[in-house]
Amino acid sequence: MGSIGNWEQVVTEKRTLRDKSLKPYMVSNLDKRGPRVDNVQERSRLDDPIAQKITDIDSIPTLLEQLRAGKYTAEQVTHAYIRRAVVAHQLTNAITETVFDDALSQARKLDRYFQKTGELQGPLHGIPVSLKDQFNLKGVDTTFGYVGRAFAPATEDAVIVQILKEMGAVVLLKTNLPQTLMWAETDNNLWGRTVNPRNPDLIPGGSSGGEGALAVLHGSILGMGTDIGGSIRIPGSMIGVYAFKPTSSRYPAIGVPGPTEGQEHVHFSSGPLTRDMESLCYVSRLVANSEPWEFDPKCAPLPWNESVFQEMQTRPLVIGLILDDGVVKVHPPIERALLELAHKLKDQGHEVITWDTSYHHDCVKLMDQYYVADGFEDVLRDINASGEPMIPHVQGLADRAKGKALSVYEYWQVNKKKIALRQKYLSRWNQTRSPSGKPVDVLLGPTTAHTAVPHHKLRWVGYTKVWNLLDYPAVSFPVDEVRKEVDVQPNGYQPRNDLDAWNWEIYDPHVMNGHPVSLQVIGKTLNDEKVLGAATIIEKIWKGEN
């Protein structure tokens, strides 16, 4: 490949193969299922009442109970999710690759085992899984949205895929991401653009945008994404699903290649996207207890700590509240949700204190240096392999890099700054005390400065990126929605910088009305159980269930 004609031909061939696999499950008259913000999952409704009931179950443990009781077979569940995933794709362009025949074959094997023994074959028996394109799946391409990586199938499954399959999970398909993975929108020349299910003029987030779009339309009950700047949490926020970025060493990374592969300055995290908090916790518990460190030497040898997870739900917490990162002020609905939640937490006996974010901009600027540390050589090699053009954001990164890589010495100096920032942040956390003298358990803040925005309009991901530099676990979860009558444009606000001005120029409560507002809970490195336990009780308090 090298000419325009050649790369376009590859695109045509790849899309034709995908569409052929989808065709038996496609439905007609989708033009009648126009954009909607309320009950968006109704857009992907199936005409089969049993398949509809199966895919309307949000909780993985609940679906497992139905399988254990014999109410549904693994084949029924697999078939139902294939059908709904395809409808979701027709609405959003979320799917890149499929393995439907293999999935149905695996489901039948699980059913035979259940019929013979009366037991489920593993703690994820029959649970359908979708994978971001980045995860290796034997016999299937892993492209990162590059045309030049097409028709080069993986020779074995990623370690996390092996673990999930060993537990009985059934992999159905792979989903879309942006060219290079290095942005929070979902668009590339190979597969095209994935759109927001509530409004196709808005983004679904990225880079795990295909996973987010599929999940909210009930085309997936368990999706696996990756995150090196917010790529799991931002789709979770824009779409309104549950998204967990673990500490990078808690989930295995072998078989999950990425751009700038080989760099050691900031590791990406693999993690789940689900439709409820219980499922995030359930899957993370299973992965930690699968001893992934026996398969990936970078994994921390830490089994799941259930006592810590439960403790966070049974005692008063000290929560650091992030309202503003000092660079871009969040939009009114996000600030409203944060303040309302802080009030509810205080009413339940938790201490909420203002968190100092003065180190955040330095963290973000350092991350931006890392993204182009090689002068963009890694990306350019993949782009030039096919001769395809860069999408606008990637072109912007290339222009910023100017082909100038850091020298080894300069790179070392950036790493020293990272180490110093991590130390300063940890010291601040450890030295901070609540009015009662207790240490901070977790932080609570925005996932993004805004809800879903128009395509090519996203510019600031500082509320997520900082936690990647620090390697802190963070979970994003939906709490509310934009209410145009309440969340009005403030009068007389004076932006503090160009980025802040951009953020307020794109705020339109009428366009964003009804779109989900998400927040995130953050903890220190390797405190994943603390984060998920705290998020569990915080969500219950928000919903009035505690």
* 417 labelled catalytic: no
Spatial separation of the C-alpha atoms in residues 144 and 130, rounded to whole Å: 16
d(CA 508, CA 487): 10
Task: Name the active-site residue from 14, 44, 130, 132.
Answer: 132
Tokens of 492: 């007389």
Distance from C-alpha of 82 to C-alpha of 69, rounded to nearest angstrom: 22
Strand partners, 454: 202
Residue 228 in marked binding region: yes
- In angstroms, rounded to a whole number, what is the distance separating the alpha carbons of residues 452 and 203? 6
- Rounded to 5 degrees, φ, ψ at 111 are -65, -40
Determine the Cα–Cα distance for residues 238 and 212; give it in Å rounded to an integer: 8
Compute the distance between CA of residue 374 and CA of residue 407 in angstroms, rounded to an integer: 9
Q: Please identify which of the residues 130, 207, 208, 476 carries the catalytic annotation.
A: 207
229 is in an annotated binding site: yes
DSSP single-letter state for residue 34:
-
Report the residue count for the chain. 546
Known binding residue 231? Answer is: yes
Which of 335, 334, 352 minimizes the C-alpha distance to 343? 352
Distances (CA, A) of 294 to 248, 253, 264, 284, 384: 16, 12, 21, 17, 37
| DSSP label at residue 197 | T
Annotated binding-site residue? 248: no
Q: Does the annotation count 220 as an active-site position?
A: no
Of 184, 167, 155, 98, nearest in space to 126 by CA: 167
> Please, what's the b/e burial string for 441-466 (b: 16 or more CB within 10 A of its CB; e: otherwise)?
bbbbbbbbbbbbbebeebbbbbbbbb
Q: How far apart are CA 237 and CA 273, in angstroms?
A: 11
Catalytic residue among 231, 237, 249, 269: 231
DSSP code for 292: G
Please, which residues bridge with residue 478 across strands? 518
Q: Let me know if 231 is a catalytic residue.
A: yes
Q: In what order do the strands lie in the sheet with 170-175?
A: 95-98, 170-175, 128-132, 223-227, 269-274, 242-245, 474-481, 516-522, 442-446, 318-321, 351-354
Nearest to 145 by CA among 188, 113, 184, 103: 188
Residues making up the binding site? 181, 207, 228-231
Residues making up the binding site for substrate? 181, 207, 228-231
**Residues acting as catalytic residues:** 132, 207, 231
